[in-house]
Amino acid sequence: GENVEQHPSTLSVQEGDSAVIKCTYSDSASNYFPWYKQELGKRPQLIIDIRSNVGEKKDQRIAVTLNKTAKHFSLHITETQPEDSAVYFCAASGYSTLTFGKGTMLLVSP
Amino acid sequence: DGGITQSPKYLFRKEGQNVTLSCEQNLNHDAMYWYRQDPGQGLRLIYYSQIVNDFQKGDIAEGYSVSREKKESFPLTVTSAQKNPTAFYLCASQNGANTEAFFGQGTRLTVV
């Protein structure tokens, strides 16, 4: 089955800095890679996703890159703000179920 | 107001008792999922159902059971066979594979 590794497990940055979270996957058949944000005590919510026919996707301060050859994808957050503090999960999916990474706790200090 | 609703938000049970967690969605999604979330472990798939009256085991199905008698509902029973049931349980639905997963607000189960 699919295996998704996510790093780092925690990330502390100063407000205004950039943050990068990296994930690797094992199944070359995976073709859908979403990122979810989970604030403390709340449900995970999709923030951005990318499909295997695209190398990069941006949405305001958030971007995701995908390297299919190396089987890794990354989340980039620029100009971080305190409200970006949360746990971020990457996931990979082929034809049925999502496999999630273990999560990254991002702490943005004012 | 469309969405996916889990109940209750908090649940306390004694060891050895079965307990059922509710999950209802009005998004008209065919696929529904149950995940378990433990600190530092991410979301692990317990069971999923892609159509009414059919469901499949996920990665950690032992000690759990589900039913899918209606499209809108996918209840999860945590049985006494589950060795470490204390966790945060999340239900989700998707409108087909490789689409956005919509999550419920979760149920925190504590076994005492």
B25-46 pLDDT, tens digit per residue, is 999 999 999 999 998 889 999 9
pLDDT band at A1 (very low <50, low <70, confident <90, very high): confident
**In the structure encoding, which two tokens stand for residue B22, read together?**
């509710």
Phi–psi pair at B27, nearest 5 degrees: -90, 0
Q: What is the dihedral of CA A73, A79, A80, A84, to 10 degrees?
A: -80
The residues facing B73 across adjacent strands are: B24, B70
Candidates A49, A89, A96; nearest CB to B43: A89
The answer, for A87 touching chain B at a CB cutoff of 8 Å, is: no
Q: Tell me if chain B has a CB within 8 Å of the CB of A6.
A: yes
CB-hemisphere CA count at 13 Å for A83? 1
- What's chain B's length in residues? 112
Distance between CA A90 and CA A39 in Å, rounded?
15
**Chain A interface disruption, residue of B98, B100, B105, B107, most A CBs within 10 A:** B98
Q: Do B42 and A101 touch (CB under 8 A)?
A: yes
Residue B2: predicted pLDDT: 65
Contact (Cβ atoms closer than 8 angstroms) between residue B2 and residue B104: no
CB A94 within 8 A of CB A1: no
Residue B1 above 70 pLDDT? no
Judge whether residue B82 has pLDDT over 80.
yes
Q: Do A98 and B48 touch (CB under 8 A)?
A: no
Residue A63 structure tokens: 């971007």
Whether A42 has its CB under 8 Å from any CB of chain B: the answer is: yes
Query: What is the C-alpha R_g of chain B?
Result: 13
Measure CB to CB from residue B42 to each of A49, A95, A102 and give the nearest one.
A102
pLDDT category of residue A47 using cuts at 50, 70 and 90? very high
Task: With CB atoms and an 8 Å threshold, state whether A96 touches B33.
Answer: no
Q: Does A18 touch chain B (CB under 8 A)?
A: no
CB contact under 8 A, B90 and A43: yes
pLDDT of residue B97: 84
Residue of B35, B51, B65 whose CA lies nearest to B96: B51
Backbone dihedral region of A16: left (phi > 0), alpha (psi from -120 to 50 degrees) or beta? Answer: left
Give percent above pLDDT 90 in chain B: 88
| Count of CB pairs separated by less than 8 Å, A with B | 51
